[in-house]
């Protein structure tokens, strides 16, 4: 008889041994690797990789004198410019945390964000936001204001940094330190502060590098604000030795001209931007053949218009899916943008390799394949929680899964198809109507440029389907014909009971269609905003 000697338990190892790099660590690694290449190109200046590292280092010396370090919080208000990005990296690498103020946000929202986080330092882009910076200083006289360029208030951070001697950047970032407080850009409810650690930000970069199939040495045009999702492609671009071309504001003619002149290989656009490019007369004359990847996301895109975009730009589109609470969640690769398989154009993609995705019913059970369920996620890039809102954190993460609020179905190969936001669903006469399905049906009409569908109060049905439609330039639309087309494709329950033909749809600062603005006049004076 043989006996087995009891095995000694493996010695405990520090949890830190399993940490992944912070985003700051990845940035400094990339900047050291390609010192002579151009890292940033903008209207104001070009910076090589070595110059970018040097600027970060000198900014750090100034920030330290103003009390920035572990546990400090800094708010930044800026247009797309390299100095603001460098300021954020400098701050987080010193152990501080950054909150980005939306460059198109209202004063009330920006000052509330500063107050909620108790930001000790506020950095303002004086070239584009000096007047707003003065207003914010009046709102927060106790905070230290630093400006990117000269202003009538605060200290010029760039001038102070330029006076510093050459030095090496400091990296005190820790994977577990709070590093980013990003406020939700959703179209409903009060914005929430989403906290992400320095390690969590690094995991976003690693997920992008693993699953997005970026071009080699990208020439990346950042048009959307880099304070949001467009900024998540900066570190990956640097790691691949590429160049970030920064543009302030979206102008279709300028975007097309820049793609041609700079041989841009990659950009990120929201659907409304793509629609504007497609409808611009310069689209017919500009050379966009350098593009290898056009990432799009932040809102659903009409499959009909996506097919049109593929025809004009070529097979270069890839869809990203995520949200402030977790990014990325899924990617639909370029190869799946196949016009010979039009059903795929409605998908938002496959779960990224770092994420586990389940589709759950309201009771928390997995739904059968092909049935709609709420996208629920586990991934290292999921937020730590909502700042000082434990009730909402528990509601969203309490069972160990991030409840996204997005409803989707999954096909046999694993692609997710978002049906709609759970809170956007219309309940009409007891039937569930997902606006996305109606919007896609309307977009099939050749004279429809954009469409938005909402639920409005109805005495008989509780809610009625209402459509706001933007005609293409020079086109005339017949609401009765549109209704007949939707009825033929989707049935009577989905058919809008009313139409509003408009020149444009309201948009949030992130370029999403603002359905709150569309709903508000219909629901004014009612306690409940649903039927």
Cβ pair 313, 337 in contact under 8 A? no
Q: What is the CA radius of gyration of the chain?
A: 24
Looking only at the bridges linking them, the beta strands covering 356-360 and 373-378 are antiparallel
Residue 396 lies in a domain: yes
Residue 394 lies in a domain: yes
Residue 470 lies in a domain: yes
Dihedral sign, CA of 467, 468, 472, 474?
A: positive
What is the domain-level CATH number for residue 228? 3.40.50.12780
Task: Give the pLDDT confidence score for residue 499 in this predicted structure.
Answer: 96
Task: Give the pLDDT confidence score for residue 353 in this predicted structure.
Answer: 97
Please indicate, yes or no, whether residues 160 and 224 belong to a single structural domain of this protein: no
Please indicate, yes or no, whether residues 357 and 492 belong to a single structural domain of this protein: no
Q: Which long-range contacts (CB under 8 A, 24 or more apart) does 342-347 make?
A: 342/303, 342/307, 344/415, 345/303, 345/306, 345/307, 346/303, 346/417, 346/440, 347/319, 347/411, 347/415, 347/416, 347/417
Task: Give the pLDDT confidence score for residue 316 in this predicted structure.
Answer: 97
Please indicate, yes or no, whether residues 256 and 404 belong to a single structural domain of this protein: yes
Please indicate, yes or no, whether residues 178 and 227 belong to a single structural domain of this protein: no
Question: What residues of the chain score a pLDDT lower than 70?
Answer: 1-11, 185-191, 299-300, 420, 422, 429-432, 460, 510, 526-531
Task: Give the pLDDT confidence score for residue 139 in this predicted structure.
Answer: 97
Task: Give the pLDDT confidence score for residue 188 in this predicted structure.
Answer: 41
CA-closest candidate to residue 170, choices 54, 75, 74, 275: 54
130-149 pLDDT tens trace: 999 999 999 999 999 999 99
Domain tally, the chain: 3
Ordered DSSP codes for 387-402: TT-HHHHHHHHTTSSE
Cα within 13 Å of Cα(213), Cβ side: 17
Please indicate, yes or no, whether residues 377 and 479 belong to a single structural domain of this protein: no
- Cis upstream peptide for 328 (omega within 30°): yes
Q: Please give the torsion angle defined by the CA atoms of residues 442, 505, 189 and 373, in that order, rounded to the nearest 10 degrees.
A: 20
Cβ pair 222, 233 in contact under 8 A? yes
Please indicate, yes or no, whether residues 238 and 99 belong to a single structural domain of this protein: no
Which of 197, 231, 252 terminates a domain? The answer is: 197
Which of 393, 422, 451 terminates a domain? The answer is: 422
Residue 202 lies in a domain: no
Please indicate, yes or no, whether residues 281 and 221 belong to a single structural domain of this protein: yes
Please indicate, yes or no, whether residues 270 and 402 belong to a single structural domain of this protein: yes
Task: Give the pLDDT confidence score for residue 525 in this predicted structure.
Answer: 73
Please indicate, yes or no, whether residues 454 and 366 belong to a single structural domain of this protein: no
Which of 172, 197, 222 terminates a domain? The answer is: 197
Q: Which residues of 287-305 are buried (b: 16+ CB within 10 A; e: fewer)?
A: ebebbbbbbbbbebbbbbb
Please indicate, yes or no, whether residues 78 and 227 belong to a single structural domain of this protein: no
Task: Give the pLDDT confidence score for residue 430 in this predicted structure.
Answer: 57
Domain that holds residue 291: 212-422
Please indicate, yes or no, whether residues 418 and 430 belong to a single structural domain of this protein: no
């Amino acid at each position: 008889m043989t006996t087995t000697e009891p095995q000694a338990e493996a010695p405990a190892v520090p949890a830190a041994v399993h940490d992944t790099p912070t985003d700051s660590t990845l940035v400094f690694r990339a900047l050291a690797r390609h010192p002579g290449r151009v890292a940033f190109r903008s209207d104001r200046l070009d910076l090589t990789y070595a110059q970018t590292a040097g600027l970060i280092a000198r900014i750090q010396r100034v920030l330290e004198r103003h009390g920035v370090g572990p546990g400090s919080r800094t708010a930044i208000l800026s247009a797309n410019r390299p100095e603001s990005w460098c300021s954020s990296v400098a701050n987080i690498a010193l152990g501080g945390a950054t909150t980005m103020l939306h460059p198109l946000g209202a004063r009330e929202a920006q000052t509330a964000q500063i107050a909620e986080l108790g930001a000790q330092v506020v950095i303002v882009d004086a070239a584009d936001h000096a007047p707003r910076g003065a207003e914010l200083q009046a709102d927060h006289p106790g905070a230290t204001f630093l400006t990117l360029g000269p202003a009538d208030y605060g200290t010029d951070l760039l001038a102070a940094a330029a006076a510093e001697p050459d030095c090496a950047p400091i990296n005190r970032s820790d994977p577990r330190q709070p590093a980013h407080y990003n406020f939700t850009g959703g179209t409903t409810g009060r914005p929430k502060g989403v906290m992400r650690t320095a390690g969590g930000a690094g995991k976003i970069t690693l997920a992008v590098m693993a699953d997005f199939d970026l071009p080699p040495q990208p020439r990346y045009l950042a048009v959307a604000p880099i304070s949001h999702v467009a900024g998540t492609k900066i570190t990956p671009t640097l790691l691949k030795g590429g160049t970030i071309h920064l543009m302030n504001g979206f102008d279709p003619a300028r975007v097309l001209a820049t793609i041609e002149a700079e041989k841009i290989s990659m950009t990120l656009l929201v659907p409304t931007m793509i629609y504007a490019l497609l409808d611009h007369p310069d689209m017919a004359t500009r050379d966009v053949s350098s593009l290898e990847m056009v990432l799009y996301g932040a809102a659903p895109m009409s499959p009909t218009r996506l097919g049109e975009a593929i025809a004009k730009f070529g097979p270069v589109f890839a869809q990203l899916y995520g949200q402030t609470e977790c990014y990325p969640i899924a990617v639909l690769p370029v190869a799946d943008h196949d016009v010979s398989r039009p059903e795929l154009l409605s998908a938002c993609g496959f779960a990224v390799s770092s994420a586990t995705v389940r589709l759950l019913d309201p009771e928390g059970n997995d739904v059968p394949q092909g049935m709609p369920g709420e996208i629920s996620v586990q991934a290292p890039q999921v937020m730590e929680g909502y700042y000082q809102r434990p009730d909402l954190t528990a509601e969203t993460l309490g069972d160990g899964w991030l409840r996204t609020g997005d409803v989707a179905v999954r096909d046999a190969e694993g692609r997710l198809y978002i049906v709609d936001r759970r809170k956007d669903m219309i309940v009409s006469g007891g039937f569930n109507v997902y606006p996305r399905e109606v919007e896609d049906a309307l977009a099939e009409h050749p004279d429809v440029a954009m469409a938005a569908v909402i639920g409005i109060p109805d005495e008989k049905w509780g809610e009625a389907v209402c459509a706001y439609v933007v005609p293409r330039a020079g086109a005339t639309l017949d609401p009765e014909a549109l209704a007949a087309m939707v009825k033929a494709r989707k049935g009577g329950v989905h058919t809008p009971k009313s139409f509003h033909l408009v020149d444009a749809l309201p948009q949030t600062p992130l370029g999403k269609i603002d359905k709150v603005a569309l709903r508000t006049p219909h629901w004014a004076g009612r306690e409940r905003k649903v039927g």
